[in-house]
Amino acid sequence: MHDRTLALLADDLAARRVSAVELTEHFLQRIEQFDAQLNAFVTVTRDEALAQAAVADKRLAAGNATPLTGIPIAHKDIFCTQGVKTSCGSKILDNFISPYDATVVSRLRDAGAVMLGKTNMDEFAMGSSSETSFYGAVRNPWDHELVPGGSSGGSAAAVAARMVCGATGTDTGGSIRQPASLSGITGFKPTYGRVSRYGMVAFASSLDQAGTLTRTAEDAALMMQVMAGFDERDSTALTDPVPAFSSALETPWQTITIGVPENFFDDGLDEGSAQAIRDALRVFERLGATIKDVHLEHVHLSVPVYYVVASAEASSNLSRFDGVRYGHRAENIDNLTELYMRTRGEGFGAEVKRRILTGTYVLSAGYYDAYYLQAQKVRQLISDDFARAFADVDFLMGPTTPTPAFGIGQKMDDPIQMYLNDIYTIGANLAGLPALSVPCGFSGGLPVGLQLIGAHLSEPALLKVAHYFQLETDWHTRVPAAYA
């Protein structure tokens, strides 16, 4: 059963070829069998999952099910889940049991999806390798000595190892697309505001966006159909109606113009990855697409702009973790100042501390104009570059990451090299654009991801283009041998 996509399993459930309880038990057995190798889960909710599956079977029998009813999924441990620990991969929230569900969680639950557990992640989503977690590094199913990408690495590894049908993730600077690329699956980030951020613990509020990690674009469309939509509890949620994501995939292919950012094919791009991207573009040419080179003038500034803006917002958002109301609290303290200092010193890891300090610095008196305000101005220039590009092309395509998966510990002592791993993905977040990564080949035996970027609110067309690519190729069907 684990070798079938979410869409195929939805058909099996609807036809009663398998029950939701049987499907849930099967995937729970795979988690028990494989997760010790990968460390993809922080929490496994076995009893809750079987109870939800039993309810799903009743809905299926009554004929009032949705396509996701009975489908086993997992949530990145940054989404609040009522009665279940929400840790964000941090010691400071290791004892936090959420009293409510995030909107993403409640919408998927109401659709009948079965939550198998919460997945491991970089602490507070700050990282590109899933190594900064309080619970230890996540390992890549293709090679356990390599990272799966981050920060949504637990979700990516769980899907790649076929321990779940699909999983939620969050993307602040590439944290869905980058692990999808390194793990050989499909990762989708919608337009900023398309999916509610209510109950999603904030890292950088103007950049964070919820999305999906699945095997295929078709599966992503099924999840997005439920996750997207206005939420009055999120002031940044878009009021635009939810399009028919799945139906869009069934419409006939139309000739498109694809822009290839020449900036993305730089000296830092692995040659094997570059060749896989070129081969993928030839697939689109065979489908009738026109390929056109484009230049994004300011995109090379994405990384410094991102780490100023994101760190500033992280500094503000993480100020709430003070040991007073919830989470870790230092013991044997003498005064309030000591409570704050020791709680945060004990509770946060090195990367989180680094970004809080950076953010506090760029927001401080005398440096706000020089750093934060300047970064916001350049952010607008980057957004304008994308807008000009989309006046001439329908989509942008290029590599998702500079290299395939790298070794655990390889970049932990060099933050700049770690940050550069997101050099091709950050621009879409700064501009609030929808983007996804799909498997398109291998380099040195490791998966390579093709990144597709669309204009604002172009998710249905973007998923359709990715779907047609996957109808023409089989890279998305490849699975690590140990997990087949």
Cite the active site residues: 76, 151, 175
Nearest to 146 by CA among 483, 369, 447: 447
Count other Cβ atoms within 10 Å, centred on residue 161: 29
Distances 464 to 193, 211, 328 between C-alpha atoms, Å: 21, 16, 45
Q: Are 198 and 231 in contact (CB under 8 A)?
A: yes
Pairing mode of beta strands 395-399, 257-261: parallel
Q: How far apart are the two ends of the chain, measured CA to CA in Å?
A: 11
Which residues 6+ apart lie within 8 Å of 423 measured at CB?
A: 268, 302, 303, 402
